[in-house]
Structure 1
């Protein structure tokens, strides 16, 4: 799979270490298997995360640990390049200082992403759709779309990685059975409405490799931990995306993110 200037290139732009694996791991493996060169651009070191119970990792050590995990997982996902943008993790809520991804000037976030885009020159860019409601995910989504719009390098295709609402509804049903007092049961069903999903990629053959990459993020509790086998497979064996560029005009869903 090549373009006029060599193998096609795919860049995934995320907010925290583990987003690249928990969210886009199978897509990165799919791209590498298809002959594409891949890169991950990560905005923070995830220092506002919680160390997994029993990990023995202190909050002070967490940023360095999570960076190491990011790089180890990227290697398992056959990623050729990892860029860190050096913003601080904003956390889920509360005040966000100017050093954080949410608190920083939007133009600064956009321009740092744009610099990496113009250097790597991807044909395909994938970022998060923020359907989970995390403010850092929304920030990096908006900054990435703005960076693509202003880049001197023309990106052929831009996608948002999605969690389908139908799948999230199944997840909430599981949570209601196993953890009936969970705060996740409050509010609306998260995720992306089915009608907005334009692209569905079968990545089941990469499941074993993705599981290894998930395990590399040992400082964090995987969102797939404890799920029934069928629900875990539904999350990990198929990639759901929303194509932003070129504009989707309807029709049969795509089955890949690359040009033939």
Structure 2
């Protein structure tokens, strides 16, 4: 079968920092790479004063389209749920927010894409949503459930991976270099939101795709501007993220040839597009 990877994430920019290098690497190998985005990130704040934004959802949709082009993957599939926000911006009263959607409806819509793109590999957030964002938790639950059900729909996806941060990585991103760490991680306990090295089931070298990953990250101008902690990470904090991405294991329908693997498709009987035909 043609190699196919499906990522299920919550907002524009979720793809760039944690798994952008892996997505670009898979596409460069000749895999079909599809990204589902539950929302358009309407609750995001504009962190670039030079950017005039009248419709945040439309702005972030365009940013994700550009980021996917930089990564060399197919245009994103938006499911159309609303960004739920978090903390004091949590939209509990929005009936279209992902936190208020019927979980089985979200699963069904993911399964529609699974049937269309027939992935051997899926990836999504870890069980704690990286930092507990409600939409990340919804995406994790729905993707895991869809993986579980996929065999009943004629597409026995072989592997499910969770984007995961190690203790070392999380503590580095929480460090106070240049006056701030990665804001969303402030005050969070790595024993809850990070994993030990023995939990890392895939360790992907993404150095060859660092430029693509950085370009994808910068495409999210509204979220990585000078007023954002993400856009002002020090080189010491950012550089390791341009070199390696780590994943824990969510599910298997066939054995892993190694632990951890260095390629998400390692050991699977799949074919890849030739380089000339590999771009979406």
1:149 maps to what in 2? 148
Question: Deviation above 3 Å: which 4+ runs of structure 1?
Answer: 55-58, 182-185, 247-252
In structure 1, what is the Cα distance between the partners aligned to 2:206 and 2:196?
A: 21
CA distance in 2, matches of 1:187, 1:212: 28
Aligned positions of 1:197-208 closer than 5 A: 197-208=200-211
State the partner residue of 1:186: 187
The CA deviation at 1:187 is 4.1
Q: What's the secondary structure of 2:119's corresponding residue?
A: coil
Structure 2: how far apart are the matches of 1:186 and 1:167?
15
Give the superposed CA RMSD: 2.3
Cα contact 2:18–2:241 (8 A) shared by 1: no
2:41 matched residue in structure 1: 46
Secondary structure of 2:79's counterpart equals: strand
2:5 aligned residue (4, 10, 20) = 10
Question: What is aligned with 1:100?
Answer: 97
Q: For each residue in 1:124-143, what CA deviation from the matched residue of structure 2 results, as whole angstroms up to 9, or x when unmatched?
A: 11111112111111110110
Q: Which residue of structure 1 aligns with residue 266 of structure 2?
A: 259
Aligned partner of residue 132 in structure 1, secondary structure: helix
Structure possessing the higher relative contact order (Cα contacts under 8 Å, 6 or more residues apart): 2
Mapped pair 1:21 → 2:5: no
In 2, the alpha carbon distance for the partners of 1:75 and 1:13 equals 17
What's the CA shift for 1:192? Answer: 2.8
Q: Which structure shows the higher helix fraction?
A: 2
Q: Is the 8 A contact 2:17 2:241 kept in 1?
A: no
1:14–1:43 contact (8 Å) kept in structure 2: yes
Alignment CA distance shift 1:199-1:82 (3 Å): same
> Which deviates the most, 221-230 or 35-44?
221-230
Structure 1 residues not aligned, in runs of 5+ = none
What is the match of residue 228 of structure 1?
234
8 Å CA contact retained: 1:55, 1:219: no
C-alpha separation between the residues in 2 aligned to 1:50 and 1:65?
11
Q: Are 1:239 and 2:245 counterparts?
A: yes
Q: Which residue of 1 aligns with 2:270?
A: none
Please say if residues 224 and 232 of structure 1, whose CA atoms lie closer than 8 Å, have aligned partners that are also in contact.
no
Q: Identify the residue that residue 271 of structure 2 maps to in structure 1.
A: none
User: Size of the alignment, in residue pairs?
Assistant: 252
Mapped to 1, the partners of 2:165 and 2:121 lie a distance apart of 19
Cα deviation 1:12-44 (Å, max 9, x = unaligned): 110001111222210111101211111111000
State the alpha-carbon separation in 2 of the partners of residues 161 and 92 from structure 1.
Answer: 20
Query: TM (normalized to structure 1)?
Result: 0.89
What's the CA shift for 1:146? 0.4
TM-score by length of 2: 0.83
Q: Deviations over 1:70-119 (max 9, x none)?
A: 11111111112421000000001334222111111111111111111111
Distance 1:178 1:230, change over 3 A: same
Structure 2, unpaired ranges of 5+: 268-280
What is the match of residue 63 of structure 1? 57
C-alpha contact 1:90 1:102 (8 A) present in aligned 2: yes
Q: Which residue of 1 aligns with 2:118?
A: 121
Alignment equivalent of 1:111, drawn from 103, 108, 112: 108
SS in 2 for 1:24: helix
